[in-house]
């Protein structure tokens, strides 16, 4: 299945998610006018979401992302782990 979702992060930027999935995420793209440092880490962020169960809660996805950011010294500006998780869940509804 394929899903997309867009949301405006309160006080932040626009985020758009495109995801292919069945029981779990096969591929995902996180798009938008936000900032992520270092920029190259976007691909690793997307890779880390592959395999996530579609049943995972927004909070579980958000925590997983936040741990990844903390562990890899990734800084987000205008977007948050929570907002990415929220968009992802919206796209898989």
Give residues in contact with other proteins (CB under 8 A): 12-14, 16, 29-39, 42, 75, 77-78
**Residue number, 21 or 34, with CB nearest to other proteins:** 34
CB of 36 vs other proteins, minimal distance in Å: 7
CB of 28 vs other proteins, minimal distance in Å: 12
**Residue number, 36 or 92, with CB nearest to other proteins:** 36
DSSP letter for each residue of 22-70: SSBEEEEEEEES-EEESTTHHHHHHHHHTT-BTTS-HHHHHHHHHHHHH
CB of 9 vs other proteins, minimal distance in Å: 11
Beta strand pairing call for 14-21 and 25-32:
antiparallel
**Residue number, 42 or 54, with CB nearest to other proteins:** 42
The CA distances from residue 6 to 27, 33, 34, 72, 91, in Å, are: 17, 12, 13, 26, 8
């Amino acid at each position: 299945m394929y899903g997309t979702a867009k949301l405006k992060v309160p006080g932040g930027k626009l985020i758009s998610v495109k995801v292919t999935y069945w029981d779990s995420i096969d591929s995902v793209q996180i798009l938008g006018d936000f900032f992520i440092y270092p920029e190259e880490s976007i691909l690793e962020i997307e890779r880390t979401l592959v395999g996530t169960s579609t049943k995972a809660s927004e909070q579980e996805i958000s925590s997983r992302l936040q741990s990844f950011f903390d562990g890899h010294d990734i800084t987000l500006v205008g977007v948050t782990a929570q907002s990415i998780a929220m968009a992802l869940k919206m796209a898989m509804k």
